Amino acid sequence: MKKATVVLGLGNPLMADEGIGVYLVDRLVSAAERCSGVDFIDAGTGGMSVLHLIEGRGKAIFIDCAFMNEVPGTLRRFTPEEVRSTKVLAHQSLHDADLLRILSLAEQLGQCPEEVVIFGIQPEVVEMRQGLSVSLMDKTEYYLSEILSELDV
């Protein structure tokens, strides 16, 4: 049974800071007991599968690595309406569907949750290696508390 709210961690833990969403959602699973109405899902790089993970929910919260022209480690909370994608490589590819385009497709099909929130985290390093950079690692407790406040926990 799907819960009303879903928290989705996106990214690839083999690509350093690109895996921040997956790292944080894994940590948040331990908060699951306090959040009975919330599903926490490691969505990895599943791309379009996001469509099905958000369908039928009241609220979707995404945690993802985001290039926002900020200092590495910066966390920003925004909604899809507040940004436009400047990604030039991903045009609805199976392999790297752009989250913002997936959300607009969900909207068009009437399958988008009423409320969508994105927590974007500016990376320091995106390259082939496991583990987060120090800039992000030092702030993980802060990220977790910001995301949990969104859940009223």
Residues that bind another protein (CB under 8 A): 10-15, 18, 41-49, 51-53, 55, 64-69, 78, 81-96, 98-101, 104-105, 108-109, 111, 118, 120, 123, 126, 128-130
Angle made by CA atoms 106, 108, 111, in degrees to the nearest 5: 40
Of residues 36 and 86, the one with the C-beta less far from another protein: 86
Q: What's the maximum distance between 2 C-alpha atoms anywhere in the chain?
A: 41
Of residues 5 and 99, the one with the C-beta less far from another protein: 99
CA distances from 63 to 35, 45, 66, 108, 110 (A): 17, 12, 9, 23, 23
SS3 label, residue 15: strand
Q: Residue 100: how many CB atoms within 10 A of its CB?
A: 14
Assigned token pair, 82 = 């507040």
What minimum distance in Å lies between the beta carbon of 96 and another protein? 4
What minimum distance in Å lies between the beta carbon of 80 and another protein? 10
Of residues 16 and 139, the one with the C-beta less far from another protein: 16
What minimum distance in Å lies between the beta carbon of 138 and another protein? 20
Tally of residues, the chain:
153
What minimum distance in Å lies between the beta carbon of 99 and another protein? 6
What minimum distance in Å lies between the beta carbon of 104 and another protein? 6
Assigned token pair, 153 = 């926990």
Of residues 85 and 145, the one with the C-beta less far from another protein: 85
- Which residue in the block uniquely carries the two structure tokens 């490589």? 89
Of residues 89 and 152, the one with the C-beta less far from another protein: 89
